[in-house]
Structure formats: structure tokens, C-alpha cells
Amino acid sequence: DPVIELTGARKTYRSGDIEFEALRGIDFGIQAGEYAAIMGPSGSGKSTLMNALGCLDTLTSGSYRLDGVDVEELRDDELAVIRNQKIGFVFQQFHLLPELTAWQNVALPLMYGRVPLAERRERAAVALTKVGLGDRLDNRPGELSGGQQQRVAVARALVTEPTMLLADEPTGNLDTTSTEEVLALFDELHAAGRTIVLITHEQEVGARAERIVWVRDGVIDRDEATRR
Ligand code: ADP
Ligand code: ADP
């Protein structure tokens, strides 16, 4: 089943009299269980596309169906609900709260659903165990390596069991060892059937996905299977 169906997606930025068309008619789909990378040079429209896919911004025209829901038809409050239910975000900066422990950071998204404390802790522990940090539940971010912090962020993204993981330059802030740690985790999640969309400008990182969608000047330039 398609998780993402983007049809004729356009995005125009306006400031005063000046208009800039950052997305100029994008069509593509991503199936459940797929691991796709979106790549392209700086200024090609990756962030704009990521914001649309993540329901962080709406399109100027075209349609976006996320897990069967017509996103462009939704009001802002409905959009927020869909975003929280269906998407687990991972960013370049880990965005962990430094004064909270690993499990408390991971449990944060569960605050929305009024899940009882004991259950929040248990679900956070399960998510942290899945990313290989079952022995780091009570550590604060400052006590963890960059790779470990990003794995905590992945656990936080997955604790609500979203439809897809949307990772924007997740290795942009990491050294080689930590990058490998995070990419190995993505391999595992993919093998377990997770849908992963990875935005990156690093060729070696994108090549770890099973498919690369290349964006250039707001259109899809190439859409290819990787050899892996
Ligand atoms: P990328 O992530 O690939 O670097 P972006 O999606 O950030 O590309 O930007 C695509 C193009 O749209 C760039 O030319 C950028 O300058 C322009 N752009 C992005 N955001 C805005 C904005 N808020 N207002 C005007 N132009 C923008
Ligand atoms: P990235 O590094 O992810 O490609 P950018 O540095 O291109 O991001 O953009 C950072 C922020 O500035 C984004 O929110 C983008 O929408 C905005 N932006 C980019 N280009 C412009 C522009 N020409 N005018 C206004 N805002 C812009």
C-alpha cells in the first residue's frame, strides 16, 4: 500500500512581489516498508519537500495523500493530529532535552495521548532497547555519544508507532563511527518492515537506502534503485 502519494506537487514562496517556485510539479509514491532516500544539491527543494511530506507545511497546489489521508484537505489542527500519529521525525540536531533522561526524552510524545506514567516509562524502555540502548535509560543526553543521542531521537520518533520515519540529514552532525551506528540501526528498522524516508546530501548515506529519488531545481531528476 502506498504510504506517500504525491501528485503534481508545487510550492511557491512569496515575499512581496517576488515569487519563487521551489517545487515545480513532483509526482512520486512510497510504499509501506520502503527505505527511500531523497537527494539533491543545496537549493534543489529537499527541505521544502521534507516539510510537505512531514505535514509541516502545505503545498501551493497538487495533492498529498499520506497513508490514505488527503492532507491538503485538512485544517491546521487536523494536520497536527495526523502529523503526530503518522510521522516519526529525526533531525540533524537531535533536539533532546538536556535535563531529561533518555527514557524521559523518549516518553515525551506519549504525553499527548495521556498515557499513564508507568506505561510511558515501559514503552520508552522498549523503544530504547530496540535501538540498542536498554542499558542507558537513566542517562542524560550529555552523558551519551552523538550516535547514542541520535539513537535516543530515533527511539523517541518510534515510540508512538508511526506509519513512517522521516529523517532529515540524520547523520549531518555525526562522525564516521556514529554515522555507521545510525545507518546500521536504519538497516535493522528497514529489515523489520519500517517505512523510512531519509533526506540527505551525502552520497554514501543515500546509497544505504534501497531507492534514491533525486531532486533538482524543484523537479525529480532521477528515481533509481540502489545496488544493495
Ligand atoms: P534544499 O533543502 O534542497 O537546500 P530548499 O527546499 O531549502 O532546498 O530550498 C529550495 C529553494 O527555495 C531555494 O532556492 C531556496 O532559496 C528557496 N526557499 C526555501 N525557503 C524559502 C522561503 N521561505 N522563501 C523564499 N524562498 C525559499
Ligand atoms: P537547508 O540547510 O535545510 O537546505 P536552508 O539553509 O536552505 O535549509 O534554509 C533554512 C531556512 O531558511 C528554511 O526554513 C528555508 O525555508 C528558509 N529559506 C531558505 N531560502 C530562503 C529564502 N531565499 N528566503 C527566505 N527563506 C529562505
The whole-number pLDDT of residue 181 equals 95
Residue 152 · residue 101 · CB < 8 Å: no
Predicted confidence at residue 225, as pLDDT, reads 95
Atom number, ligand 1, closest to the C-alpha of residue 41 = 3
Question: Residue 168 CA: which ligand 2 atom is closest?
Answer: 3
Query: In this structure, are residues 82 and 3 in contact, taking their beta carbons and an 8 Å threshold?
Result: no
State the pLDDT confidence band at 111, using cuts at 50, 70 and 90. confident
Q: Pick the residue whose CA is nearest to atom 11 on ligand 2.
A: 47
Q: Which three cell numbers stand for residue 56?
A: 509541516
Q: Are 22 and 59 in contact (CB under 8 A)?
A: no
Give the pLDDT mean for 59-66: 96
What ipTM score was computed for the predicted complex, to two decimals?
Answer: 0.69
Helix, strand, coil shares of the chain, percent, nearest 5, are 35, 30, 35
Q: Whose CA is nearest to atom 24 of ligand 1?
A: 13
Tell me the mean pLDDT in the region 172-190: 96
Global confidence as pTM:
0.90
Whose Cα sits closest to atom 17 in ligand 1? 22
Average pLDDT over every residue of 25-52: 96
Mean pLDDT taken over the chain? 95
